Amino acid sequence: MPRPDNPASKPSSGGSSGGIPKSDWSGKWGNPPITTLDSLKKHLHFAMAIELSTIPLYLYAMYSIKLPANKIKDPRFWDPVTGAIRSIVAEEMLHLTLAGNVLKAVGGTPKLYAQTCDDVKIFPTYKMVMPGRVPKLEMKLRQAIKPNFDTFLGIELPQGRNDPPVGADEYHTLGQFYEGVKDGLKYLAGDMGEQKLFDRESLPYQFAPGIGYQPRIQNAGGSIVVKDLKTSLEALDVIVEEGEGRDSEFAGDERAHYFVFKDLMEGSLTWEVYNVPEDPTTEWYAELGLRQIYHVSRTFDAAYCYLLLTIEKLWTMSEEEERRKLVLANMYSLMLGILAPLAKLLVTQPLNDGTDRVAAPCFCWYDFKAGQGTPFKQLRAEMKATMFSYVQVAAETDDQVVEHDFGNQIETLLPIQTALDNMMDIDTYEPPTGKITRKGLNVAHTQGFKGFA
C-alpha cells in the first residue's frame, strides 16, 4: 500500500498525476524527473539491469555452500541456507520479468542478452558498482561467508520511513529508485492519457501468472500483467515489498529479502563453504591451463546467456501454449538441469594452484557468433566440446593403467547433456538432432575410459 508519509507514493485523484512531487534532495542528488516516454523506457531498462545484476551475485554465494556429502544427491534433502537464497533468486527473476512487463506495456522492447540498451549497461560484469546507488556499493562474486552478506543487505536496504523520495537516476535504496519510476508513470499517464501510454496489444506477450515464476507461498506476490497505471504501480510495488519490505518485514506471507539475509548474517545457523575465488572469469581458467574447467565454464556461460535469450523471446510470443512449452522445455531445463549441475561440478574441481581453492561459475558474457548456426546450436557445440575435453584425456595405456580418471565428471555431464537434448531451439522451434550418447562417446575414443563398461 502507498505510504502516507512519502509524497511520491500518494495516489492522485483520478489515478494519475499532472506533476511530479519535488524533493528537497532533488537538486543535491541531480535527479531530473521522468517526463518523457523515452526516459521512462530507459529507466525501466535500468530497473531490469539492476535486478539482473543481483541474480549471479546470490547464485554464486548459494553454489559456494557445501552440502553434507551424504545428502548432495538426495532430492528430499532441504538445506535451510541454500533454500533461503534459492527462494530469493526466484523472486529476483520475478522482479526482472515484472520490470520487463511494465517496459513492454509502455511500448518498449525488453532486452537482457545485450551489453547495452537505451544507453544503459544491461549485462553485469563483476566486480562492479551497483548501478546508480549512492553511496557506491561494490558487487562481487564471493563465497557465502557471513561477513559477505553485508553487500546483500546494502542491495536490499529498506527505505526509511522519513526518507524523502530521491529519484530514478541516483538513489540510496531501491525503494527510492522505484518511487522515481512510479512518479514518471503517474506523470505520463496524466500527460499522455493511460490509453495512449499503455499498449493493450502487449498483454498476451507479457509474463502472466502461471508463466515462469510460481510463488512458494500463496499470498506472496507473483506475475502481474500490466495494462494500465494501477497494474504498473502494483508490479513495481511487488518488487520493492519483496526485496526490502515497506511498512513491515513481510511481503504478503513471506519475509522480505533484506530480513532473510539479515537473519543468515546475524543468526545462529552455520554452514561450510567451498574456497571459491573472488570474481573469477572463464578466460582466467584458460590462463591457468585448466582445460576441462575452462570448457565447463564456457558451457555454463553459454547456457546462462541462452537463458536470457529465452526470457527475451517470451516477450515476443503471444500464443499461450507455445509460451508454456518454451518455459517448460527451456527455462526450467536451463536453470535446474544445466546451470545448477554445471555449477555443482565446478565447485568440486580444484584449481591446482597450491591452495585448496576450487573453481566456480563465472556468469560471463558468451558471444553467440553470427553465421555459426543458431545460439542453441552454439550452446550444444560448447557442451560437446566439454564432454570431449574429458573423454580425450580419460584414456588408458595399452596395459590398462589409468592415465586420467575423469569417469565421475563424465557421469555428471551425461544427464546435463540429456537436459540439453530435451530443449527447444528458440529460433527454429525444433528439437535438436545428432544427440550425444554414451555409445557415441565410446566410439569417439576407441581406447575407452574408466567409468564406462
pLDDT value of residue 437: 59
In a domain, 243, yes or no: yes
Q: Which amino acid is at 288?
A: L
Report how many domains make up the chain.
2
Q: Mean pLDDT, to the nearest integer, of 192-202? A: 97
SS3 54: helix
In a domain, 450, yes or no: no
Of the three residues 234, 266, 298, the one that is the final residue of a domain is 266
Highest mean pLDDT among 158-162, 389-393, 407-411, 414-418: 414-418
- Both 229 and 322 in one domain: the answer is no
Q: Which amino acid is at 313?
A: K
Report the C-alpha gap between 86 and 59 in whole angstroms. 7
- Both 116 and 19 in one domain: the answer is yes
| Full DSSP string of 270-306 | ---B--PPSS--HHHHHHTT-HHHHHHHHHHHHHHHH
In a domain, 451, yes or no: no
Q: Mean pLDDT, to the nearest integer, of 401-405? A: 51
> Long-range contacts made by residues 150-155, C-beta under 8 angstroms, separation at least 24?
150/265, 151/57, 152/57, 152/58, 152/61, 152/257, 152/261, 152/265, 153/258, 153/261, 153/262, 153/265, 154/130, 155/54, 155/57, 155/130
> Is the per-residue pLDDT at 162 higher than 70?
no
- Both 257 and 317 in one domain: the answer is no
User: With bands split at pLDDT 50, 70 and 90, how would you rate the model's confidence at 390?
Assistant: confident
**Cell triple for 150:** 553485508
- Both 42 and 169 in one domain: the answer is yes
- Both 119 and 48 in one domain: the answer is yes
**Cell triple for 190:** 496524466
Are 160 and 194 a contacting pair, CB within 8 Å? Answer: no
> Is the per-residue pLDDT at 134 higher than 70?
yes
> Is the per-residue pLDDT at 356 higher than 90?
yes
Q: What is the pLDDT of residues 108-128, one digit of tens each?
A: 999 999 999 988 999 999 999
Q: Which amino acid is at 226?
A: V
Residue 65 phi/psi, 5-degree rounding, is -85, 130
Residue that is written with C-alpha cell 506472496 in the block = 220
Report the C-alpha gap between 111 and 106 in whole angstroms. 14
Report the C-alpha gap between 424 and 109 in whole angstroms. 23
pLDDT value of residue 432: 78
> Is the per-residue pLDDT at 64 higher than 80?
yes
**Cell triple for 203:** 498483454
Number of Cβ within 10 Å of residue 150's Cβ equals 12
The domain containing residue 303 runs over which residues? 282-444
In a domain, 273, yes or no: no
- Both 204 and 352 in one domain: the answer is no
> Is the per-residue pLDDT at 289 higher than 60?
yes
- Both 249 and 337 in one domain: the answer is no
- Both 251 and 313 in one domain: the answer is no
Q: What is the pLDDT of residues 69-88, one digit of tens each?
A: 877 777 788 899 999 999 99
Q: Which amino acid is at 383?
A: M
- Both 210 and 316 in one domain: the answer is no
Among 410, 329, 323, CA closest to 376: 329
**For residue 132, what is the domain's CATH number?**
1.20.1260.10
Q: Residue 139's beta-bridge partner residues? A: 128
In a domain, 101, yes or no: yes
Q: What is the pLDDT of residues 204-233, one digit of tens each?
A: 999 998 776 555 544 446 899 999 999 999
In a domain, 52, yes or no: yes
- Both 297 and 262 in one domain: the answer is no
pLDDT value of residue 19: 35
**In the chain, pLDDT over 70 holds for what percent of residues?**
79
Of the three residues 266, 295, 313, the one that is the final residue of a domain is 266
pLDDT value of residue 69: 80
Q: Give the range among 10-24, 268-282, 385-399 with minimum mean pLDDT.
A: 10-24
| Full DSSP string of 232-263 | HHHHHHHHHHHHT-SSSSEETTEE-HHHHHHH
Report the C-alpha gap between 50 and 155 in whole angstroms. 10
Of the three residues 266, 300, 316, the one that is the final residue of a domain is 266
> Is the per-residue pLDDT at 445 higher than 70?
no
In a domain, 145, yes or no: yes
**In the chain, pLDDT over 90 holds for what percent of residues?**
63
pLDDT value of residue 161: 63
CA 21, chain centre distance (Å): 33
Report the C-alpha gap between 106 and 200 in whole angstroms. 9
Q: What is the pLDDT of residues 317-330, one digit of tens each?
A: 999 888 988 888 89
CA distances from 150 to 91, 96, 142, 171, 265 (A): 20, 23, 12, 18, 8
Mean pLDDT estimate for the chain: 84
Q: Mean pLDDT, to the nearest integer, of 413-424? A: 92
User: With bands split at pLDDT 50, 70 and 90, how would you rate the model's confidence at 251?
Assistant: low
Are 312 and 401 a contacting pair, CB within 8 Å? Answer: no
- Both 155 and 300 in one domain: the answer is no
CA distances from 282 to 24, 285, 295, 297, 320 (A): 46, 5, 8, 6, 37
In a domain, 277, yes or no: no
- Both 206 and 329 in one domain: the answer is no
pLDDT value of residue 2: 30
